[in-house]
Amino acid sequence: MSQKPSSAAGCSRMFLLPVLAGMLLLSSGCLVGPKYQRPSAPGSPAYKEPLPDGWKEARPNDGVIRGNWWEIYHDPELDALEEQVSISNQNVLAAEAQFRAARDAVRIARSALFPTVGASPSVNNSRTSNTLTNNQFRAFSPGVRTEYTLPIDFSYQADVWGSIRRSVRASAETAQATAAQLENARLFFQAELAQDYFQLHGTDAEQDLLERTVKSYQEYLDLTKDRFNSGVASGADVAQAETQLDTARAQLIDLGVARAQLEHAIAILTGKPPSALSIDRRVTKSQPPPIPVGVPSTLLERRPDIAAAEREMASANEQIGIAQAAYYPELALGASAGLESSSFLQWFTWPSRLWSVGPQLAETLFDAGKRRARTAQAQAAYDATVANYRQTILTGFQQVEDNLAALRILDNEARAEDEAVQAAERSSAISTAQYKARTASYLQVITAQTAALQSERSAVDILTRRMAASVLLIEAVGGGWDASKLPAAKDLMAHGN
């Protein structure tokens, strides 16, 4: 009599083993949903804008800036400031924390591929009611009762249709997109700092010009006063000279506002309060260096914002498969085992064992179109990422073309402005000589000097704009980054294991 239950239990265990093995095999079965393929993207064989004079057309393999892109300007002060962006800029640090959070989300999603095991030991004291001791409830005995329980629960969701694996992939692709967004943020703020830096020194050049102009105007005022005292010049000439001098002084003072704001902006970009950073005044006349632009086909791999948009598109494709997997039944395995006894001394003995095991199949029979709507929603979200990806590429091409055009046109404008400066200086010298010879009025001198000052300020402004456009062009071509620097999906999944 005692052999039958034992034989039956053995048969049950022998039957459960292949069932469990079959379910584990099914967990790596079908993968429902569309296979991701990068959609076509807009492109062109060459840029519309020709390269500025002196630049060479770069081949695909050498159209990449190597190392820290700002080093092509050969400015040690700029190098030191740029190095602090990745370390101390709070926006970059926030983007880096978002990447770490996205990386951890991959591990969270991956954990669903494995069983969950939990334990909940307990000691429970209870007392049965004395009123249950009549004939109807003879099975109950009154008094206090203690139960010692040590259950271990096992649960496993079989990934038959690939929804969990797609969730892991989607999380990994989202993490890759976040990594690209981090690089895009770093490049953006580095470029912002370089632009502010060149604008600040452009302001220094304007201040230097106006200081020399104020000094010159002061000399002309003194000359005019001497001529007035000698009866050669009129009071109107003196008034005009004073007006010209005071106007130049006011313009010089006004530049202090722009310079202070630019210095404050650079401090914030390096993660410092404005009071902690001071940049010495310096007049630089450096020309924009040649920038290896490369060919348009490489732009898709070199811009981090395009890489981020592409990874978001891949993640959205996985969501379609996850939504479609909801049409199929879910297979889960649950098991529980442990020890239970009313005596502490017998709690950890073999007769106190208990266990249960069994699979569960769940299928939604009616949901009023909920799954269909979710699938359509996922498809629409994917279509939106495709449009965003293509628009990001178009924007990238536009930015490259815009700054190539800006550099080419500003280079031509700079040459024309240099000629205008020389002509204005000659005109000012001639007017001054004529005024001293009493053959011209002081109004002619003022007119020539004003034209000369405007031409020189325009030349300084053009050079500053050229330097800023070169920074924007470097940013537009990706700043030396490429998609091969993205973390691999397998590395994201293995991180922290």
Domain definitions of the chain by residue range: 26-117+159-327+370-494
Measured CA angle at 360 (ends 355, 362), to 5 deg: 160
Which residues face 128 on adjacent strands?
Answer: 143
Q: Strand, coil or helix: what is 328? A: coil
Question: Which residues, 6 or more positions from 83, have their beta carbon under 8 angstroms from its beta carbon?
Answer: 68
Distance between CA 381 and CA 320 in Å, rounded?
9
Please tell me the predicted confidence (pLDDT) of residue 18.
47
Secondary structure (DSSP) of 333-375: EEEEEEEEESSSTTTTSGGGEEEEEEEEEE-----TTHHHHHH
Distance between CA 476 and CA 102 in Å, rounded?
26
**Six-digit token string for 456:** 């020189």
Measured between alpha carbons, how far is residue 350 from residues 8, 30, 341, 346 in Å?
A: 18, 42, 11, 9
Please tell me the predicted confidence (pLDDT) of residue 385.
97
Q: Are 328 and 162 in contact (CB under 8 A)?
A: no
Question: Which residues, 6 or more positions from 236, have their beta carbon under 8 angstroms from its beta carbon?
Answer: 442
Which residues face 354 on adjacent strands?
Answer: 338
Q: Are 281 and 197 in contact (CB under 8 A)?
A: no
Phi-psi region of 398 (alpha: psi -120 to 50; beta: other; left: phi over 0): alpha
Q: Cα-flanking dihedrals φ and ψ of residue 148, to 5°?
A: -110, 120
Q: pLDDT for 372-403, tens place per residue? A: 999 999 999 999 999 999 999 999 999 999 99
Q: Are 337 and 99 in contact (CB under 8 A)?
A: no
pTM of the model: 0.85
Distance between CA 73 and CA 42 in Å, rounded?
32
CATH topology for 26-117+159-327+370-494?
Outer membrane efflux proteins (OEP) (1.20.1600)
Please tell me the predicted confidence (pLDDT) of residue 294.
78
Q: pLDDT for 231-259, tens place per residue? A: 888 999 999 999 999 999 999 999 999 99
Measured CA angle at 285 (ends 282, 291), to 5 deg: 120
Q: Mean pLDDT per 10-residue run, the chain (497 residues)?
A: 42 47 53 90 82 59 71 95 94 95 94 91 80 54 77 90 93 96 96 97 97 95 92 91 96 96 97 95 90 84 95 96 92 87 81 86 90 95 97 95 94 95 95 89 92 95 97 94 90 70
Q: pLDDT for 55-75, tens place per residue? A: 655 554 555 577 799 999 999
* Helices and strands in the chain, H and E counts: 10, 5
Please tell me the predicted confidence (pLDDT) of residue 14.
42
**Six-digit token string for 324:** 């479609």
Any long-range contacts for 96-102 (C-beta under 8 Å, 24+ apart)?
96/182, 98/178, 98/181, 98/182, 99/175, 99/178, 99/179, 99/181, 99/182, 102/171, 102/174, 102/175, 102/177, 102/178, 102/179
Please tell me the predicted confidence (pLDDT) of residue 296.
84
* Nearest residue to 259 (alpha-carbon basis) of 283, 281, 229, 243: 281
How many other C-beta atoms can be found within 10 angstroms of the C-beta atom of residue 427? Answer: 18
Residue type, 341: S
Percentage of residues in the chain having pLDDT higher than 70: 88
Q: Are 272 and 88 in contact (CB under 8 A)?
A: yes
Residue type, 44: S
Secondary structure (DSSP) of 87-135: HH-HHHHHHHHHHHHHHHHHHHHHGGGS-EEEE--EEEEEEE-GGG-SG
* Nearest residue to 263 (alpha-carbon basis) of 185, 191, 209, 203: 203
Is the CA virtual torsion 37, 43, 44, 46 positive or negative? negative
Parallel/antiparallel/unpaired status of strands 143-158 and 122-128: antiparallel
Question: Which residues, 6 or more positions from 183, have their beta carbon under 8 angstroms from its beta carbon?
Answer: 304, 481, 485
Measured between alpha carbons, how far is residue 97 from residues 90, 106, 187, 192 in Å?
A: 10, 15, 17, 21
Please tell me the predicted confidence (pLDDT) of residue 142.
60
Please tell me the predicted confidence (pLDDT) of residue 380.
97
Distance between CA 395 and CA 92 in Å, rounded?
23
Distance between CA 311 and CA 217 in Å, rounded?
61
